Structure 1
Amino acid sequence: MDDHPEPPTRRLFVALAPPDDAKDELARALQPAYAAYPLLRWNRIADWHITLAFLGELPSAAVPVLRSTLPGAAAAHPAPRLALHGGGHFDGRLLWSGVTGDLDGLHELASAVRELIRAHGLDFRDRPLHPHLTLARSRRDDPTSVPLAAAGLTGFAGRSWPAERLHLVGSNTGRGPGPIRYRDLASWPLAPS
């Protein structure tokens, strides 16, 4: 008997992940913010990613479809060369690091992934792509920490790296106590750049 049955739905997205040394570089730059703003809900460094398509809650039956569909999209697109740069926030509640580099290639990859997913009958809300890496979220009673932490990242400029793999990621739904947790369900190599 399976102790962990497959949930009827999964929160899914398709993403790129910076390499560990690029994450470490940003984590070092964040040390003052970690100390100054301990009440922010900081994402785990292992979970940092750049979302290309947020699919939301889909039936678990969508996972095999995506596993068979996404390898072709990955193989058809060259790995964009990217870098993490600066910081900002959405509505004073969500802290992010920006992404620079081959943004045209990144947008082309995201468009191709989204079109392919829709062509296989999976419906999702298509949000505009604003390449970023989410770092933390504020609590409702803390309206100033995120903008102040973002200001502290203004001068950050990370090294560039090729985004070598396309990832299908699942997360818990974020309901209840505790942070959102992400799990890599599968990944595929992008074409050499």
Structure 2
Amino acid sequence: MDVHPEPPTLRVFVALAPPDDAKDELARALQPAYAKYPQLRWNRIEDWHITLAFLGELPATAVPLLRSVLAARAASHPALHLALRGGGHFDERLLWSGIDGDLDGLHQLATDVRDLVASCGIEFNNRPLRPHLTLARARRDDPTSVPQAAAGLAGFVGRPWPAERLHLVGSKFGRGPGPIRYRDIEAWRFGTAAP
């Protein structure tokens, strides 16, 4: 008997993930901010990602549909060459690192992914892509920590890296005010289709 059955719905998104050495490089640049702003809710480094399409709460039965179309798209798409660069914020509450490199390719991949999701009959909020990597969130009563931390990242330029996999990710909210937890449902290597 399965003690932890799969939930009937999942919060799902499609994303890219920087490699560990690129994340470590950014984490080193963030050390002063970690020390200066411990009150921020810092995302776990292993959860850092670049969202291409946020699909929201989906029935678990939608996941197999997504697997086949996303696997085929990844197989036919070359790896993107990206980098992490600088920092910024949304509404003084969300701290992010910017994305540099093949932004045209990134936007095209996001468009392709969103078209594939729509072709599966899945409705989602198709907001314009603003490529970023979310680092931390501030509490409502703290309007200064995130902008100050973003200013501290202004000169950060990360080394280029290839985005080698397309990730289908499920998110889970823990109990209480803790961080959101993410897990790969599946990931597919880019460019594996035979020419």
TM-score (normalizing by structure 1): 0.97
* Counterpart contact for 2:11–2:56, Cα < 8 Å: yes
- Residue 173 of structure 1, CA deviation: 3.9
Amino acid at match of 2:167: H
In the alignment, is residue 12 of structure 1 matched against residue 12 of structure 2? yes
Q: SS where residue 180 of structure 2 aligns? A: coil
Corresponding position of 1:23: 23
Amino acid at match of 2:132: H
Identity %: 76
Corresponding position of 1:41: 41
Amino acid at match of 1:82: L
Deviation per CA, 1:122-147: give whole Å up to 9, x if none. 11110110100000000112111000
TM-score (normalizing by structure 2): 0.96
Quote the Cα distance in structure 2 between the aligned partners of 1:12 and 1:27.
26
RMSD: 1.1
Quote the Cα distance in structure 2 between the aligned partners of 1:174 and 1:79.
33
Long gaps (5+) in structure 1: none
* Counterpart contact for 1:16–1:166, Cα < 8 Å: yes
Once structures 1 and 2 are overlaid, which stretch shifts more, 40-49 or 173-182? 173-182
In the alignment, is residue 113 of structure 1 matched against residue 113 of structure 2? yes
Amino acid at match of 2:35: A
* Counterpart contact for 2:16–2:165, Cα < 8 Å: yes
* Counterpart contact for 2:173–2:179, Cα < 8 Å: no
Corresponding position of 2:159: 159
In the alignment, is residue 89 of structure 1 matched against residue 61 of structure 2? no
- Residue 188 of structure 1, CA deviation: 0.2
- Which portions of structure 1, spanning 4 or more consecutive aligned residues, are displaced by more than 4 angstroms? none
Amino acid at match of 1:140: R
Amino acid at match of 2:91: D
Q: SS where residue 33 of structure 2 aligns? A: helix
Corresponding position of 2:53: 53
Corresponding position of 2:125: 125
